[in-house]
Amino acid sequence: MFQRSNAATRPVAIQSPAPERATAPAPHPVESIPPRRRYDEIAAFVRSLDQPDQSARTYLEIHIPRIARTLGLLPDPRSSGRVLEMGAYMQMTPALQCVLGYREVRGAYFGALGRTDEKRSTVNGREVFRCLVDLFDAEKDRYPYPDGHFEAVLACEIFEHLLHDPMHMLLEMRRVLEDGGTLLLTTPNVVSYTAVARVLEQSGHPQLYSKYADPRGEFADTEIPHVREYTPPELREALESAGYEVENLFTEVIPGYGTDTWVKGFLERNGFSSAFRGEQMYALARKRAHLPPHLPMVRYPKFLYEG
């Protein structure tokens, strides 16, 4: 094919565009699932704690596998021995000291800034643990602790409940962590086997939990539903944007849903990754004292905030 140029009458060859090369499919992500650590010891201790009623005991028994798995991921104390648990329900809180050996355990819960409650735990009626629980708004308040105060912070099954500003929580937890301190965060995985199954079958909402509290019930005014569940890449981006180095992020199947076998086969037969498909997501991260140029802090990640 030829076309005349504006500068001369000589024909100028116009090359046809080269055919696009077939691009190799992106490699599937690799998931590294660590072995269980002190699982039986932690589970036995948590199970021994007295509970206020049978409904609390039933709830605890359902969640002991997650609680024991989570606590086993936390490194042993090595510096100050101070640890903070966000959203402390006093289920895993006592084990931080009684099993893992942290010297000073602090709890945090939603409430009016400035109030502190004292909580205690018993086994067969005998006190085995007590700690202070500070009340504040995790999405708005400056947390009532000095910079770099804690060796470790836990935020377990709270991130998905945040209504307004989840990055505020990540940034404040980073502020109160010492340099190199550990953040342990758990939250449901919105692209799990169960989520895929529900979408394909049109059998339910893809979020692991999407129900509202019964407005006639005891917790109607205080129970916040799952506002937003996250994908593993989203959680990683949020943590890195807040100035953390993600040491490991992995998922595990929650027994009872029964979707992992057939959905895993479906995904793999159709060229999709079956990694990071467990319903429960765990992230272990460290506060980066010096931020590398390729991972700057971002206050409002575009995937998370409008505008």
How confident is the model over 217-255, as pLDDT tens digits? Answer: 877 777 899 999 999 999 999 999 999 999 999 999 999
DSSP state of 306: -
pLDDT at 1: 38
Backbone angles phi, psi at 138, to 5 degrees: -65, -15
pLDDT of the residue at 69: 98
pLDDT digits (tens, 9 = 90+) for 123-144: 999 999 999 999 999 999 999 9
Please list the ranges in the chain whose pLDDT falls under 50: 1-24
Looking at residue 26, what is its pLDDT?
60
Secondary structure (3-state) at 199: helix
| Helix extents (H) in the chain | 39-48, 54-73, 93-98, 166-176, 193-201, 232-241, 260-269
Phi, psi of 55 (to 5 degrees): -65, -40
pLDDT of residue 55: 92
The C-alpha atoms of residue 252 and residue 297 are separated, in whole angstroms, by 29
Q: What is the pLDDT of residue 9?
A: 36
* pTM assigned to the model: 0.89
Quick one: pLDDT at residue 123?
98
